[in-house]
Amino acid sequence: MGLFTFRKKVKPIVYTIEECPKCGRKVKRKFKPGDYVYKEGEVCEKCNAKMLITMIYAETPT
C-alpha cells in the first residue's frame, strides 16, 4: 500500500423534476438534452395538464 489512496471517479447522474401546476404531481426522470427550468414538459397522467420543469440537479451514485 502506498501513501495515497485513489478514488474511482464517479460521474454524477443528472435528473429533471417536472411538476404539474394544476394538481401538484411531481415526476423525477433522467435529464434530456434541451431541458431547462420553466420549460413545458410532458402531459400529466393524472389531470392531462402540461407539466413544467421546476428543477434540474445531479446525484452522485453510491
pLDDT-derived band at 2 (thresholds 50, 70, 90) equals low
Output phi, psi for 21, to 5 deg. -70, -20
Q: Are 20 and 47 in contact (CB under 8 A)?
A: yes
What is the separation of C-alpha 40 from the centre of its chain, rounded to a whole number of angstroms?
A: 14
Taking the C-alpha atoms of residue 61 and residue 28, their distance in angstroms, rounded to an integer, is 16
Whether the model clears a pTM of 0.75, i.e. scores above it, the answer is yes
Residue 1 has pLDDT above 60, yes or no: no
Is the Cα torsion angle 26, 31, 32, 36 positive or negative in sign? positive
Q: pLDDT tens for residues 3-41? A: 666 667 889 999 999 999 999 999 999 999 999 999 999
Q: Take residue 55 and report the three cell numbers written for it.
A: 428543477
Residue 62 has pLDDT above 80, yes or no: no
